[in-house]
Amino acid sequence: MDDARLTPEEYHVMREKGTEPPFSGKYVNEKSKGMYVCKSCGAELFSSETKYDSGTGWPSFYDIAKEGTVRLVPDESDGMERTEVVCAKCGAHLGHLFPDGPKEKTGKRYCINSCALDLKKETPLLRQAKKQGHS
């Protein structure tokens, strides 16, 4: 997406590695099925199947939709040692990865800003998964 079409908040998060205030994003409590794609480039990032309520105030996922959709970057900003999550396709900042996800799943928590995401009902990956489920 053209940077000029990003809202100030989207620009701050995706281009300046900002973080939206907790419990402020539109997908924090979202329960609909679908695929969360990158707001900036449309890349398929996280399936609603892996979304869970972490209680942190940001949309949280225990896995990525497909190998290679995100890039993990060591991040020592703000006096913390964290792992930044970046869209592998366009480089947009998405959020951070923490090791306190659900233990019965992957143990990972992808803590992602709502404003970096767009929830889609139909995508190629979802169609593929549906097909495989019915074959």
Comparing C-alpha atoms, which of 88, 67, 86, 65 is closest to residue 75?
86
Residue 116 CB, nearest approach to Fe ion (Å): 8
User: Cα separation of 113 and 130, whole Å?
Assistant: 27
Residue 84 CB, nearest approach to Fe ion (Å): 14
| Per-residue binding letters, 42-61, with Fe ion (x by CB under 5 A) | -x------------------
Listed ranges 4-12, 31-39, 104-112, 114-122: which one lies at the site for Fe ion (CB under 5 A): 31-39
Give the residue, chosen from 1, 28, 41, 129, that forms a contact with Fe ion under the rule CB under 5 A.
41
Q: What angle do CA 91, 83, 60 make, to 5 degrees?
A: 85
| Per-residue binding letters, 80-99, with Fe ion (x by CB under 5 A) | -------x-xx-x-------
Q: What is the three-class DSSP state of 13?
A: helix
- Using the structure block, give the residue that is written with the tokens 């794609």: 37
Q: Does the protein bind Fe ion through residue 40 (CB under 5 A)?
A: yes
**Residue 126 has which token pair?**
């979802």
